[in-house]
Structure 1
């Protein structure tokens, strides 16, 4: 018998896909400051599409949590997402020359549509373990890639700030909280938590791939 934590077990069960995501070409080029603006613009346009569904998911976490303390934490999280991270997107779009028309008219990629649907599906279950499982993947996988590379932060604001947004003390604390919650409630909901965690990891990898498959080219501007 081992005392392996439930969240460690979930990541281990999805090891191959998780590793492909956190060591993706996108991550390597982001840290190297070499990622093409067309790829970065595509990535951020699609990532910004998650905001509405992500807030729905966080609202479901508030309503489905079983005590006041996690409700307060998730409520604070909502304020943070609506604040600093939203400001970054708007500043990055301006720096990359992404127009409001592009943000509105460029269609979702398949992974974007899939992840928005998964977040809303988890929210609709009102199952706290399912909700936290999706939230954890969306945050923990990003912390993992942001803290693995030892290279200096690139000088380009768009690249540097995206890394910093996923590697600062409060972000570490957020992932620790999400892991504690899933370690607490997940084992009794093993099947549903495992299913939502697995699907979220699969979509995260596909999302990185899609940024290269659908760069924002001159023809689309």
Structure 2
């Protein structure tokens, strides 16, 4: 068994909880409420800068030039292509760029993931990002088989089911496999614990999109 598979197996309950979260099943059934989608995109957009910082820490702690080259490409995609995508998304859905203070679960997701990147080593960082990207790739591959009728949601799912994204998730798995192979049992369990922490943060983050008390910011002219 690959080390990445073993790490996931130690967190199977959390993995299944995320794969069957109502956010995922609502998308698969094409019944995600539009305000939930708007909140989710606003929260996800707010996380992009944090993701850049996380991968920045990975770049600084990477063990070699091959890893650094891959991470530079990832940072470029996050800071350029993804931000442009969100601009189009916000315009299409009438989402404003300024809203109320973010819910605690959304803040906790950012601070929790960034804290692991700041305090941890390279193995820790690729493990938590593997959790996020492997999780997304898995459910988006399913959802992609039944495209949403909402164009921006359909595009978002497709983005995470395309070969470029899936190859990035596979690269993270390979990095975790290599890093874990050099660790003892306690070190591998540490990575399994971090994988579980990342999944729990993801679960709470996606649940926050259903908080109807958080007002979705409206773009100017869409009041």
Query: Normalization by structure 1: what TM-score?
Result: 0.89
The answer as to 2:8 corresponding to 1:11 is: yes
Query: How big is the alpha-carbon RMSD for the aligned residues of Structure 1 and Structure 2?
Result: 2.1
Gaps of 5+ in 1: none
The question of whether the paired residues in 2 share the 8 Å contact of 1:114 and 1:203 is answered with: yes
User: Aligned-pair distance for 1:218?
Assistant: 7.5
The superposition leaves residues 27-80 of structure 1 with CA deviations (integer Å, 9 ceiling, x where unpaired) of 222233321111011111111121111111101111111110011001101111
The question of whether the paired residues in 2 share the 8 Å contact of 1:31 and 1:159 is answered with: no
Aligned to 2:158: 164
The question of whether the paired residues in 2 share the 8 Å contact of 1:41 and 1:216 is answered with: no
User: Aligned-pair distance for 1:200?
Assistant: 0.3
The question of whether the paired residues in 2 share the 8 Å contact of 1:60 and 1:126 is answered with: no
**1:213 partner SS:** coil
**2:160 partner SS:** coil
Query: Is the deviation greater in 198-207 or in 28-37?
Result: 28-37
Query: Is the deviation greater in 202-211 or in 120-129?
Result: 120-129
Query: Is the deviation greater in 150-159 or in 168-177?
Result: 150-159
Higher helix share: 1
Aligned to 1:54: 51
Which residue of 46, 64, 67 maps to 2:64?
Answer: 67
The superposition leaves residues 82-126 of structure 1 with CA deviations (integer Å, 9 ceiling, x where unpaired) of 233222222221222111233xxx222222112211222122225
Query: Normalization by structure 2: what TM-score?
Result: 0.88
User: Aligned-pair distance for 1:156?
Assistant: 1.9
Which residue of 126, 135, 138 maps to 2:129?
Answer: 135
Aligned to 1:80: 77
Once the two structures are superposed, the pairs formed by residues 144-183 of structure 1 within 5 Å of their partners are 144-149=138-143, 151-183=145-177
Distance 2:119 2:39 in 1: 31
Gaps of 5+ in 2: none
**1:186 partner SS:** helix
